[in-house]
Amino acid sequence: MLGTQKSHARLFYESDLEAHIAENHLLRAIDRFVDLGGVRVELRGFDSRTGRPSIDPELILRMLIIGYVMG
């Protein structure tokens, strides 16, 4: 089952994470150019119909990009 990321922005904390990240941060610049919207559609054929839902493929790719860029 293909997982999806559900955003619960202010569920567990009072502050806004966006307010703590500088506007000129490198990851914000990368996010403007990287479009991962079609990843789920492209990977749907590799999805298993049994078991627990997977981690959202868009989230995994974003984590890999962050890991590569931030070292």
Report whether 36 contacts 71 (CB < 8 A): no
Spatial distance between the Cα atoms of 50 and 60, rounded to a whole number of angstroms: 20
pTM as predicted: 0.67
Q: What is the DSSP string of 20-66?
A: GS-TT-HHHHHHHH---TTHHHHHGGG--SSSSPPPPHHHHHHHHHH
Give me the residue spans of the domains in the chain: 17-70
Task: Give the pLDDT score at 12.
Answer: 63
Task: Give the pLDDT score at 56.
Answer: 86
CA nearest to 28, candidates 17, 37, 41, 14: 17
Write the pLDDT tens digit of every residue in 5-51.
666 555 666 777 778 888 898 888 888 899 988 888 888 888 888 88
